[in-house]
Chains A and B, each alone.
Chain A
Amino acid sequence: MINHKETDIAVIGAGAAGLSAGAACASEGVRTLIIDREPLPGGVLLQCIHNGFGLHYFKEELTGPEFAGRMEEKARQAGAEFLMDHTVMEIRNQEDKKELVLYSAEDGVTLVHAKAVIFAAGCRERNRGNLGIPGDRVAGIFTAGLAQRLLNMDGFLPGKKAVIVGSGDIGLIMARRLSWCGIKVETVVEILPHPSGLSRNIAQCLDDFNIPLRLATAVTKIGGSDRVEYVRIAPLVNGEPDLSREETIECDTVLFSVGLIPETELIRNCGVTINPVTNGAVADGNMMTSVPGIFSCGNVLHVHDLVDFVAEESELCAKKAVQYIKGRIKGGSQIPTEAVKNLGYVIPNSALCETTRFYMRPRILCPKAVLTVRNGEEIIYQKNVLHVKPAEMITAELSGEKLQNLPEDAKLSFELEPVEVKS
């Protein structure tokens, strides 16, 4: 037997993005179905038990589970329906609707018909295989997020003595968490010459516990017979590990905190164009992908630094999806955007002639820089940005008035120029 379900908007993913988008859709009175493969809504926030979330959005400092709890409550109050423990296997693009194929252990196959889809499926972690780190295939190697889940939700200690590879924020947070659980963190190894995570996490997660951070250092081998027994590391000289200075660190656990990959298989299989820089969908000024009726937001669109910005972006995405199913979405040509200097990307990839917030990632590390948006030679917008680092996004809001006055063949070029700071 196949189950059938009808809805106006189907939201794929019940994490920060899906809950925020679902709450926003339902509050505009459209039927909203939030689908997730996990038994409980909240996504990765449920295992991020540390504080530091919600300062922008809720104006107070919350832990991950508190942020998720409030967002879920918001979605339920607004009338969104939840379908948990259901995995979306396929999105079929039909003439006037989308058909989702869902599997669940309990209910078997369910077909969901929706007028629009908001794709908010989040990311998975890059792992040892993605990096190609040599050595033995032994037990005790985890991605930082997996170890976080084991520790914070299932209550398992991953090991006794750990080395963390990568200095992203998840890895740093895990260094503190492991230390508070009595697990010795020997070192954090970072291949770049600067830390990938926030400075305050270096201070409160490493310095508080005297954990050394080794920059510009590569892992040259993970060794052991059944379980990890040691890790070998070597400093980089001109991009190559200097094996004459290789050292061995004894440990039984290795955590990888080396980046996230948007989980886009579902939309790729239904023809959505992917941006090779973000690995998420190409999104226009309506937060819509190249397939009409499929929208995307959150970490599956581009990896965010703060959950607060995920919530903000997802609410905008929801608003546009609601306009779409009501036939009120703004069509016509849009102004293309591009990142030209010291920026990895700009989202959205094109803009409507209305007030638009742009999100971008710097590629440089400097105390101060100027962000300039141009159309050819003409400067459209300029602002100063402090504490520029690749770990933090930059946002800029351009007014509808400015965008309306642009010529028809306009193109928005975003560039970031570092500024000398006198001390």
Chain B
Amino acid sequence: MKIHQKICISCPAGCHLEIKENGDGTFDISGNTCPRGKTYAINEMTDPRRVVTAVVATDSAVTPYLPVKTDAPLPFGSIQTLLKKIYAFKLELPAKSGMLLIENIDNTGVNLILTRGSEK
């Protein structure tokens, strides 16, 4: 049996989680103060994911870069692939906040969207 220590990132409280790996694919979790901590702990052990934020280049001199985010947490393994795509991206303006830029990243069902619009 292996024991892992993790800090929950679901909210600013930052609970210290202790995760016991039972070896049969199940986990015993303690230290969480709400159900989100348990879900987070299991995800961290089986399929860790993060929301990715970055900026994309535009064709404008006024707002040369605009911010983007994934609309859901992305599996760790796809983050570098996404970052490479983001840095190669060139956005034509005008564009509105919420615009879909990259659909279904790495077949994860997660999308990249613009978080600030600009006219020029």
Contacts and interface: CB of A to CB of B under 8 A. Distances in A.
Nearest to A173: B53
A63 B67 contact: yes
A198 interface: yes
B54 A200 contact: no
A interface bracket (residues with beta carbon within 8 Å of B) = 20 to 34
A46 B55 CA distance: 11
Given A49-B115, A65-B116, A386-B33, 10 more contacts: A49-B53, A64-B67, A69-B97, A152-B65, A153-B55, A153-B65, A155-B65, A180-B54, A199-B14, A200-B9
A154 B65 contact: yes
Interface string A377-411: 00000000011000010000000000000000000
Contact of A387 (B13, B64, B67): B13
A63 B53 contact: yes
A50 interface: yes
A2 B14 CA distance: 54
B95 interface: no
A55 B13 CA distance: 13
A155 B10 CA distance: 30
Contacts of A64: 67
B53 A199 contact: no
B52 A180 contact: yes
B112 interface: no
A66 interface: yes
Nearest to B117: A69
A208 interface: yes
A51 interface: yes
A49 B54 contact: yes
A291 interface: no
B41 to A, nearest CB: 12
A63 B115 contact: yes
B55 A155 contact: yes
Contacts of B6: 203
Contacts of B50: 204, 208
A202 B8 CA distance: 10
Contacts of B57: 155
B7 A199 contact: yes
